[in-house]
Structure 1
Amino acid sequence: MLGRSLVALVTVAVAGVVPGVAVASTGGLQGQLNGVQGIGALAEVRSGNDVWRGSTGVAELGSTRKVPVEGRFRAGSITKTFVATVVLQLVEEKKLRLDDTVERWLPGVVPNGQNITVRELLNHTSGLYDYKNTLPMPPSEEFYANRYRTWTAAEQIKRAVAHPPVFETPGTQYNYSNTNYLVLGEIIYKATGRTYGDQVERRLIRRLHLSGTSMPGTSLYLRGPHPHGYVPKDGGLIDFTELNPSLFGAGGELISTTHDLNRFFSALLGGRLLPARLLAEMKTPGTKGGSYGLGLSWHDTSCGVRVYGNDGDALAYQAYSFATEDTRRQVTVAVTPNFKTSPDASVDALVNRVICG
């Protein structure tokens, strides 16, 4: 647990309005961001042509350095939306089909692969066991020892399929599993001859000029301005900003900024990356009443307005990026968690404030 002296560090705040852009209720947004639970947080809010950026807390424990509003962070499972977009672009190009089976592309790799489709990988209805459940996590000493280890998708998939599926019949139930996106990453390579990281870079990052976004592969570092991230150890926290992101792979390795994620989701939901029929597929839940489609999630805010996007947990960083369907209102938040209080509820409050006014 954190001591009082560490908790006190999250009270420093800074707000920024994009030059030349008028923003209403700046003080209200900053106050809401100050309430986000964590060591530090940063956000970008868009409402029509108005843009507001702010941060709160500290960039590094033991300092008073403010969190940079343009800072980079690990975006965790928001990576899945990027990877899913690439898969759907390949569908549009007829390089693969949503109803293709895993066995068609990766023979012998996944048990029952002849009955699991690309669609079921995308919407987490495959039943595949989550490889992350096989890995050591804090406070295990093995977790810290593996910090710089390079993992391959093949070995992680092998660890996952050593366990029986969560349910027997693919497509009948929803169960979130990071293994699905490791398999998709391998299928992208088989279908194109290029890695999923290369495809995300070429098709999305470069095309949209996402200058603060990267697929780091095995690089340990966050390049450019960034807040430090931490994980619990021995009753306190240790700096875990540097780690080998192959741990997350195609399910979570992305590094980005609040500005870039808003730009990406605006392009995606605005129909600039996929044709209407495939964007509609992306918004279709895998199971009746669900809120996760093909790499895209959604929820209804307190005023009943639905927002689309995704969130991600990358151990020392948590990120959230959501937009209204017409993209008129967007909010992206990144948090360095303190592992004392989950930031989820306070981020939800901020999203509700932005969307509902």
Structure 2
Amino acid sequence: MYSALKAGFLALPYLSLGALAALDGHCPPLGPVLPAPTQPSKHEAVPAAAAALRGIIDQVTATYNGSAVAIGVKSIHESKLLFEYAHTPANKEKRGAQKVDSDTVFRLGSLTKVFPVLALLKLKDRGVRLDDPITKYVPELRGLKKQAREDSPVWVVDWDEVTLGALASHMAGIPSDLITDIAPFGNLSAYGYPPANTSRMLGCSGFFGTAPCNKTAVAFFEHYGQRPPAQVPFSSQTVYSNIAFPILSFAVEAITKRPFAEFVTNEIWKPSKMTRSFTTKPDDALGFIPPKDIWWDANLGFEGPEGGYFSTINDLHRFFDAILLNKLLPPAQTRKWLKPVTATSSTGLLIGQPWEIFRAENVTSDGRMIEIYTKTGDLIAYHSILVLIPDYDLVATMLLAGPEVSGSAMTLMLSRIIQTLLPAVEQAGKAEARAAYGGTYVDKATNSSITLSLSDDGPGFSISRYVIRGVDVPSTDPGSTLPPATPPRLDPPMRYRLYPATANSGRQTSWRAVGTRGTAAQVDKADAQIVWPMASCLTWAMMDRVTYNMGARDHFVFDVERGKVKGVEAVGYGVFMKKEC
């Protein structure tokens, strides 16, 4: 369908594209519309927002008598946290930490799931690919079908069709879990269940004082095949899976011939300088333990790699710094990892490996859509979340535990953090971008000039003046078609915004211009005729399309010398313009 759309649009002049959707008719590319700020803490808006946020969270935690909260927010470009918060409740177990701070250990729950995926990505040099079938490394899985009710797709997982990537992204369709079976925990006839079949009980779980399960004997390979699949692999109906991640850890162990916990500790945590992270329960005095808690001591056994690990706010920030500064994976592999791979029935949620990626359109001043990469975790009393907002190089972490907190409370608190802090960080980014790139660029020899401004709330830079060799580009732009012999006189003229591309050598930075003549009203009118939203927003399909002498018309490259922008080249026009002081 997209090839047909692009072919049709390519034959039309820009003015016929009408309204590229969103933001007063503008349709920015997905991603940052300005460079992320490198010193956000120095902008006056950020400490003011942090103070306001502290007041908001103080009001929430004022009622927490047995629950602890630890929060950190950090730019990857700064060594210190932008925002740091800790609440120590009056009631807590005496054997645990008596004061909560950013070094207090909490249980991570499912945030643990990032480590099996990263472990496999780090084994790329051994030929491991996420498209590999899991049976390449754990062939014993094929034997599980002998436990099924019958040999059919309704009752048996075809493990040869299940890839490492499918397991990492909840697309394998396998049974979601094993140790969460509730049959051993009391008479449940009042809920309509029949008497429990003791031959189908695990005899372990790690919960409520029971022994942890191991992957051999009765726990996994003797019972898991009794569970029918949730879906076929790669179904559109994505089903969250806990047990996929212990299975991934089996693969890591088969490849490395090392215990999975040892691999994570030595190959991920040590290079990240994580000193207070644990694969098993650490000394009680290091962690927060809610009053009368039974979950701090729970041992998930072989399912530890899906939800059994422990860490701190500071260690989680060290971990994400290591990811985003490419200390754990090469840059291209890191970028590939931080991408969605499938959707859910929520229009605001995509799934990665194993990221939960939320999309929001109500947190930036320009109203554009941004993506918020997260991994959440819940282990009854413990709740965690690791958050990346790539457009601003901003990372947030939250660790909560106790009877008054929940996963939904954590999500609400995260929303307050984003709503309060992100606009201030955005202001900091605009101030840095304005100082570095804003202003007028001129080449008198060719009568060319361009002016970049941030005078409105629109995305990226507004190009308020754009003259090349004496020609006013906005009023003569013929769009994505062969220019006619006589340039058109467009009324109203095109409106351009300039956005950073991802290519940056340090000496030069690459940007792209996107133009539109449509107003917000025209966008709404055009999009109302199409069954899917934002149908006219096709910037992704139109960039880098028109070239002259192999240079793209929309391509701009800034020269940077000793941190100062000296000028910009309009690549397609072959003109270099110096920045006026």
The two structures share one fold, judged by TM-score above 0.5: yes
Deviations 1:214-267 (A, max 9, x none): 212xxx44555322136xxxxxx6453222242741111221101111121122
Please, which runs of 5 or more residues in structure 1 have no aligned partner? 1-20, 231-236
Distance 2:302 2:186 in 1: 16
Tell me whether 1:325 sits opposite 2:423 in the alignment: no
Aligned residue among 101, 104, 108 for 1:75: 108
Tell me whether 1:113 sits opposite 2:113 in the alignment: no
Is the alpha carbon distance of 1:223 and 1:129 closer, same or farther for their aligned partners in structure 2, counting shifts above 3 Å?
A: same
TM-score by length of 1: 0.80
Mapping 1:334-345, distance limit 5 Å: 334-338=399-403, 342-343=408-409, 344-345=411-412
**Which residue number in structure 2 is paired with residue 229 of structure 1?**
290
- Code of the aligned partner of 1:152: N
Deviations 1:115-159 (A, max 9, x none): 111110111100011115743399869978743512113424654
**Which residue number in structure 2 is paired with residue 96 of structure 1?**
128
More deviation, 270-279/176-185 = 270-279
- Code of the aligned partner of 1:283: L
Aligned residue among 331, 334, 349 for 1:276: 331
**Which residue number in structure 2 is paired with residue 24 of structure 1?**
47
Is the alpha carbon distance of 1:337 and 1:87 closer, same or farther for their aligned partners in structure 2, counting shifts above 3 Å?
A: same
Q: How high is the sequence identity, in percent, across the aligned residues? A: 20
Tell me whether 1:316 sits opposite 2:316 in the alignment: no
Question: In the TM superposition, what is the alpha-carbon distance from 1:67 to its structure 2 partner?
Answer: 2.6
Is the alpha carbon distance of 1:226 and 1:43 closer, same or farther for their aligned partners in structure 2, counting shifts above 3 Å?
A: same
Q: Secondary structure at the match of 2:332?
A: helix
**Which residue number in structure 1 is paired with residue 87 of structure 2?**
56
- Given that residues 101 and 114 in structure 1 are in contact (C-alpha distance below 8 angstroms), is that contact kept between their aligned partners in structure 2? yes
**Which residue number in structure 2 is paired with residue 86 of structure 1?**
119
Tell me whether 1:147 sits opposite 2:209 in the alignment: yes
Distance 2:133 2:423 in 1: 42
Deviations 1:265-287 (A, max 9, x none): 12213332222333233233332
TM-score by length of 2: 0.51
Aligned residue among 392, 408, 415 for 1:348: 415
Is the alpha carbon distance of 1:103 and 1:309 closer, same or farther for their aligned partners in structure 2, counting shifts above 3 Å?
A: same
Is the alpha carbon distance of 1:204 and 1:174 closer, same or farther for their aligned partners in structure 2, counting shifts above 3 Å?
A: same
- Given that residues 238 and 343 in structure 2 are in contact (C-alpha distance below 8 angstroms), is that contact kept between their aligned partners in structure 1? no
- Code of the aligned partner of 2:72: E
Question: In the TM superposition, what is the alpha-carbon distance from 1:192 to its structure 2 partner?
Answer: 0.8
Distance 2:370 2:99 in 1: 33
Distance 1:60 1:242 in 2: 18
Aligned residue among 255, 270, 293 for 2:310: 255
- Given that residues 323 and 331 in structure 1 are in contact (C-alpha distance below 8 angstroms), is that contact kept between their aligned partners in structure 2? yes
More deviation, 140-149/311-320 = 140-149
Tell me whether 1:40 sits opposite 2:68 in the alignment: yes
Deviations 1:320-351 (A, max 9, x none): 11122266322111111426764232233224
- Given that residues 387 and 395 in structure 2 are in contact (C-alpha distance below 8 angstroms), is that contact kept between their aligned partners in structure 1? yes
Mapping 1:148-163, distance limit 5 Å: 149-154=211-216, 155-156=219-220, 159-163=223-227
Distance 1:66 1:192 in 2: 40
Question: In the TM superposition, what is the alpha-carbon distance from 1:108 to its structure 2 partner?
Answer: 3.6
Question: In the TM superposition, what is the alpha-carbon distance from 1:202 to its structure 2 partner?
Answer: 0.9
Give 1 or 2 for the bigger CA radius of gyration.
2
Is the alpha carbon distance of 1:97 and 1:264 closer, same or farther for their aligned partners in structure 2, counting shifts above 3 Å?
A: same
Is the alpha carbon distance of 1:350 and 1:136 closer, same or farther for their aligned partners in structure 2, counting shifts above 3 Å?
A: farther
Mapping 1:175-214, distance limit 5 Å: 175-214=239-278
Please, which runs of 5 or more residues in structure 2 have no aligned partner? 1-40, 143-156, 188-203, 364-368, 425-581
- Given that residues 282 and 295 in structure 1 are in contact (C-alpha distance below 8 angstroms), is that contact kept between their aligned partners in structure 2? no
- Given that residues 147 and 244 in structure 1 are in contact (C-alpha distance below 8 angstroms), is that contact kept between their aligned partners in structure 2? no
**Which residue number in structure 1 is paired with residue 438 of structure 2?**
none
- Given that residues 258 and 334 in structure 1 are in contact (C-alpha distance below 8 angstroms), is that contact kept between their aligned partners in structure 2? yes
- Given that residues 120 and 126 in structure 1 are in contact (C-alpha distance below 8 angstroms), is that contact kept between their aligned partners in structure 2? yes
Q: CA RMSD in A?
A: 3.2
Question: In the TM superposition, what is the alpha-carbon distance from 1:185 to its structure 2 partner?
Answer: 0.6
- Given that residues 93 and 289 in structure 2 are in contact (C-alpha distance below 8 angstroms), is that contact kept between their aligned partners in structure 1? no
Distance 2:300 2:180 in 1: 17
Distance 2:253 2:130 in 1: 16
Is the alpha carbon distance of 1:339 and 1:165 closer, same or farther for their aligned partners in structure 2, counting shifts above 3 Å?
A: farther
Higher relative CO (Cα under 8 Å, sequence separation at least 6) belongs to: 1
- Given that residues 350 and 356 in structure 2 are in contact (C-alpha distance below 8 angstroms), is that contact kept between their aligned partners in structure 1? yes
**Which residue number in structure 1 is paired with residue 296 of structure 2?**
241
Distance 2:222 2:170 in 1: 18
- Code of the aligned partner of 1:90: L
